[in-house]
Amino acid sequence: MNDIAGTKGVAEEMKEIRVERIMEMIPHRYPMLLVDRVIDVVPNESATGVKNVSINEPFFVGHFPRRPVMPGVMIVEAMAQTAAVLVVATLGAEAESKLVYFMSVDKARFRRPVTPGDTLHIHVTKEQSRGPVWKFSAVAKVDGAAVAEATYTAMIMDD
């Protein structure tokens, strides 16, 4: 049984992947690691990333000083990182020495600002895969309300 979450559990559904394990799964580090944990992972299907948005995020220094708003591209990146964790959780040992490269982002829409103190819940669903190419849809929510959405195409490549 693959123990992606770092705890014993059912392989088909993982309850939580903490940041320490996320850093083993994807190469991102501060200040570009934008997922604090991933919950409700169903390999080959879906996952939910969680990002606690703090006033200490480096992008708030200039975006915008008097009214801090999380840049939309950072929300898009958090969605992509959540999808990458889903890929690694799905592939298990096969993901060793692989990287998830995003090829396209489509239909990106931003519904409302994300500000310090918000908790971003990023729901990612695998729509299809063919060989090394995977497609995802994602919706980011704060307090249950959609703040952003997009679709992604990624390629799984050797590191």
The DSSP annotation for the chain comes to ---TTSS---TT-EEEEEHHHHHHHS---TTS---SEEEEEETTTEEEEEEE--TT-GGGGTS-SSS----HHHHHHHHHHHHHHHHHHHHGGGGTTEEEEEEEEEEEEE-S---TT-EEEEEEEEEEEETTEEEEEEEEEETTEEEEEEEEEEEEEE-
Residues annotated catalytic, as ranges: 63
